[in-house]
Amino acid sequence: MPVLHNRVSQAELKKILYAETEKRITISFYQYFPVTDPKIFRDEIYKTLNNLKVFGRIYIAHEGINAQVSVPESNMGSVRDYLYSFDPLHGLRLNIALDDDGRSFWVLKVKVREKIVADGITDPGFSMVHKGKYVNAAQMNAMLEDEETVVIDMRNHYEYEVGHFVRAIEVPSDTFREQLPMALDMLKDRKDRKIIMYCTGGIRCEKASAYMLHNGFRNVFHLEGGIINYTRQTREGGLESKFIGKNFVFDDRLGERITDDVIALCHQCGQQADTHINCRNDGCHLLFIQCPACMEKFDGCCSEICQTVYNLPLEKQMELRRSVDKGLMKFNKSRQRLRPRLHEK
């Protein structure tokens, strides 16, 4: 089967995006459902959405679909109708981005994956059929008022750092696959308590809720549509937001402002800041939090070492990258490696 891909360079695609005059809408969606042949489904999805000028990334697996895309405003109805034409996707919730300039993506990538969210689960008896109960924004707020309710954040450490729900417990890890067994261990003595789980758009906490039930927990809930849907409901319904700070997102924006609270600190000077950036040194691209003063001081780099490399002629930078261990010079969000590296001198 031929592989479908875009032959235009990334730089040219980005140039085309910025030349567009029509507004784009950034949306995310997912659905757990059986996909018999992910490759065939992948090709069909790609052809149709590419013709509708959709940009973004979509993952297809035997367990379903997971997508974050931007859509020209005039094609939004056609995209919705197309997705709804599949019986398992009819009525699918489309989470519309909260803080959006429409330039979050500039190419469409549809990939077949083993799973739509990597979970590390190998138990053949696990199923997504039995999952926690959905709660909406109003119900979430009510449950947060109950001190007996356990609130679990099923996102990574760098997401929790810039924003989270009040009273939320962090599962301190780098990946979702690490979090699942950690959450079981952390809550093993609270199997009869009400447990509510949340994440960005719902996909991780929905699977986590099913995993908890599979492992003997009894009163498990999860936030429908995640933080994105919760925030939309609170704003439309005039409800108080119990989520404070920023919601980290996995596109060029790297964050959506939910409340004015800044709860994180600059990784270089320790001042209040919650702006994530990737180190400008192309041999690094480390994700970290940087305040405006350190942005200017370090030229958007994570350390003086990277700043020195960043200011070298391009030819010299490329020469250096060819001569180093690529395992030490790649985009990395690891909790263990983050802070020591930022304070290198």
Number of domains into which the chain is organized: 3
Identify whether 269 is part of a domain.
Answer: no
- In terms of phi and psi (left: phi > 0; alpha: psi -120 to 50; beta: otherwise), the region of 300 is left
Identify whether 196 is part of a domain.
Answer: yes
pLDDT at 51: 95
Residues listed for the chain: 345
Indicate if 152 and 226 belong to the same structural domain. Answer: yes
Identify whether 266 is part of a domain.
Answer: no
Contact 197, 155 (CB under 8 A): no
Indicate if 102 and 141 belong to the same structural domain. Answer: no
Q: What is the rounded distance in angstroms from the CA atom of residue 65 to the CA atom of residue 116? A: 6
Residue type, 194: K
Indicate if 22 and 108 belong to the same structural domain. Answer: yes
Residue type, 59: Y
What CATH number does residue 45 fall under? 3.30.70.100
Range of the structural domain that residue 325 is part of: 276-342
Mean pLDDT, 10 residues at a time, the chain of 345 residues: 53 55 89 95 95 95 95 96 96 85 82 93 90 96 94 93 95 90 93 94 94 94 94 95 92 85 95 94 91 96 92 87 54 42 41
Indicate if 201 and 152 belong to the same structural domain. Answer: yes
Indicate if 104 and 199 belong to the same structural domain. Answer: no
Contact 24, 103 (CB under 8 A): yes
CB atoms within 10 A of CB 274: 20
Q: Which of 60, 77, 112 is the last residue of a domain?
A: 112
pLDDT at 98: 78
pLDDT at 318: 85
Indicate if 137 and 232 belong to the same structural domain. Answer: yes
State yes or no: is 199 an active-site residue: yes
Among candidate residues 199, 294, 301, 302, the one labeled active-site is 199
Indicate if 144 and 232 belong to the same structural domain. Answer: yes
Contact 162, 276 (CB under 8 A): yes
What CATH number does residue 177 fall under? 3.40.250.10
Identify whether 329 is part of a domain.
Answer: yes
Identify whether 265 is part of a domain.
Answer: no
pTM over 0.95: no
Q: Which of 112, 146, 168 is the last residue of a domain?
A: 112
Identify whether 244 is part of a domain.
Answer: no
Per-residue tokens: 273: 């800041």
Indicate if 105 and 138 belong to the same structural domain. Answer: no
Indicate if 233 and 137 belong to the same structural domain. Answer: yes
CB atoms within 10 A of CB 219: 17
Identify whether 98 is part of a domain.
Answer: yes
Any residues with CB less than 8 A from the CB of 273 and at least 6 apart, and which?
262, 264, 265, 266, 289, 290, 291, 292
Indicate if 20 and 94 belong to the same structural domain. Answer: yes
Q: Which of 237, 253, 284 is the last residue of a domain?
A: 237
Indicate if 229 and 295 belong to the same structural domain. Answer: no
Identify whether 254 is part of a domain.
Answer: no
Indicate if 207 and 301 belong to the same structural domain. Answer: no
Q: What is the rounded distance in angstroms from the CA atom of residue 251 to the CA atom of residue 45? A: 21
Q: What is the rounded distance in angstroms from the CA atom of residue 176 to the CA atom of residue 118? A: 7
